[in-house]
Structure 1
Amino acid sequence: MSNAIRKTVHEDKQLIEEIEDTKVPYGMLAVWSLGQASFIVKGGATVVYVDPFALADDEVERRYGLKRLFPSPMRPEQITNADYCLITHEHDDHLDPDTIRAMAAANSRTRFAAPNCCLEEMRQCGVSEARLYRAETDKIIFEDDGFFVKPIPAAHEQLDKDGEGFFKYAGYVVRLNGVTWYHAGDTVIYDGLTERVAAERIDLALLPINGRDAFRTGRGIIGNMDYREAAELAHRAGFGLTIPMHYDLFAGNTERPGYFVDYVYDNFPRLRTHVMARGERFVFVSDAAL
């Protein structure tokens, strides 16, 4: 279904400049990872951020008492090029107030989407009503000339709803530049998820693999699908290429992406995967580009 090309960021070039300079022809996407579930995806001239988390080491330690396992490749105030920002849920490593506040101030064109329970916090971060959208599941938002965003429910670890009846956690199916991609957010496999995403004919999927266990639950860490479940979902839903995520940023909640790759190799050797290197620009090429 797809091929892939990958290149690394030049050491003497700022990430934001590389994103701006990267040309992405029709049928292709350029992808950058900021760690955890934070991604930047560019197609054509459109730049989409998902769960941007760009806090530096000292800020993370000051606010959360945690240490990043690697430095952030950009600072919040450097994010000036976002056309869209998609938030999957309210946890601070996905909806980071400092990053959202900086993005809202830096670019008046950026449009934001988040689950209903996150909207008030987004407003407090300076996102105006005119550019704030509720990520109501199974309803298309931002539809424009072949581009659309459709939130779908995520279960982290349950399919929880807020007091108004809206799902608290979301994944996103995005059609951009002739490519359909899926960011699962934080989720476990729930009844109907496989069939739901299979119907979308996903070219590129971003899936969490850090899993869950009683010890992390005891520390208040809510879990996700593990690497086996992510591989099975990718196979059964027919994803074109799968990138594992949410395994690399904070000690105590990590996983080895090689386990995901090995499981795929042993069980689904025709399934395409890619593990993002730190600082990498990954260019995904779909059949639409050929």
Structure 2
Amino acid sequence: MTETSWAGWNPERLAAEIEETAVPYGMVAVWWLGQGSFVLKGGTSILYIDPFAMGEDELKSRHGLKRSYPPLLEPEHIRHADYCLITHEHIDHLDPAAIAAMAKQKRETIYMSPRCCIDVLVELGVPANRITAADVRKPHVDQNRKLAVQPVPAAHEELEPDEHGYHRYVGYVIRFNGVHIYHAGDTLVYGGLPERLKQENIDLAFVPINGRDVFRTDRGIVGNMNYREAAELAHLANFRTTVPMHYDMFPGNTEHPGYFVDYVYDRYPHLPVAVLARGRRFLYASDEALR
């Protein structure tokens, strides 16, 4: 992607901004790359969730899919990840182009993914000793980076644990730089999820809103919660700020984030929401940071 493409977007400049942004304790910087793909930074630590950077030509030729807009970061620009969290194996969440580039550029990155994805990561060049299987029964704790990651079962469209209790689809609760974050992955709202998340005291939640219907099911598209369900989850789980996601990447599987905003405004006006601009830095400050 050149300097003049997509309204002058420059992925090298975005990569530099991520590297250079200073984030005090109690805050997190967020860059949304579209779909369910996010970059988080707290202190000097950088965390990617479902990095999706596959170019338009490769995506179309290999997978028959069309992007609504070009990648905001190309694979070679993802060179600074301390952690990479993968929610499941679908191409827009486990992107072979992004993972292969990451594996070449920074061997110290720690990866977490569902157990069923580990062989794929190794084939893409990730050292096996840098991969942790996402286990919903226990958190991963990194004392040096003041980071804790708790995988949460996701139902896309069903909960699918294997015979060892490892789930095919997960979301993540992340305690990072003094902020509690929830990334839902691809999921419906299932029994017990709102209550579990309420106990986590989530500051910032990323939830899908694109929904599902019989026509998309007939085309083989696996569904998520819709904007109404996402709003009800935010209310029941008492998220302090909710960000809609997974609504903009592929024609025919989209939703208007304004519907989510309107639904929350009409029914739960006390709930803060934020609609992020693609690739633009968003800073979240917890109550602790503002004391």
Q: Flag whether TM exceeds 0.5 (same fold).
A: yes
Contact 2:11–2:72 (CA<8 Å) still a contact in 1?
Answer: no
- Deviation, structure 1 residue 10: 8.5
Matched positions, count: 282
**CA distance in 1: counterparts of 2:24 and 2:185, whole angstroms:** 27
1:12/1:94 CA distance change after superposition, 3 Å: closer
C-alpha deviation, 1:278, in angstroms: 2.1
Gaps of 5+ in 1: 1-8
**Match status 1:14 vs 2:24:** no
Question: The residue matched to 2:126 in structure 1 has which SS?
Answer: coil
Q: Percent identity?
A: 56
| CA distance in structure 2 between the partners assigned to 1:18 and 1:233 by the alignment | 33
After TM superposition, give the deviation of residue 107 of structure 1 in Å. 0.2
* Distance in structure 2 (CA, Å) of the matches to 1:34 and 1:76: 12
Q: CA deviation at 1:108?
A: 1.1
Partner of 1:80: 79
- Per the alignment, residue 184 of structure 1 pairs with 184
Q: Does 1:201 align with 2:201?
A: yes
The answer to whether the 8 Å contact 2:172/2:185 transfers is yes
Contact 2:11 2:77 (8 Å CA) reproduced: no
Match in the other structure for 2:37: 38
| In 2: Cα distance, 1:12 partner to 1:67 partner | 20
Q: Tell me which moved more, 165-174 or 59-68.
A: 59-68
Match of 1:4 in 2: none
- Taking structure 1 as the reference length, the TM-score comes to 0.94
TM-score of the superposition, structure 2-length normalised?
Answer: 0.94
Query: Structure 2: how far apart are the matches of 1:249 and 1:284?
Result: 24
The CA deviation at 1:11 is 6.1
Deviates more, 1:276-285 or 1:263-272: 276-285
What is the match of residue 59 of structure 1? 58
Q: Structure 2 CA distance, aligned partners of 1:25 and 1:47?
A: 13
Instruction: Rate the CA distance shift 1:101–1:217 in 2: closer, same or farther, 3 A.
Output: same
Distance 2:193 2:51 in 1: 24
Contact kept, 8 Å, 2:9 with 2:72, in 1: the verdict is no
**2:281 aligns to what SS in structure 1?**
strand
How many Å separate the matches in 2 of 1:139 and 1:221? 31
> Which stretch has the larger CA shift, 235-244 or 135-144?
135-144
The alignment partner of 1:103 has SS state of: helix
State the distance in 2 between where 1:286 and 1:10 align.
30
**For 1:280, what is the secondary structure of its paired residue?**
coil
Letter paired with 1:88 = T
Amino acid at match of 2:147: F
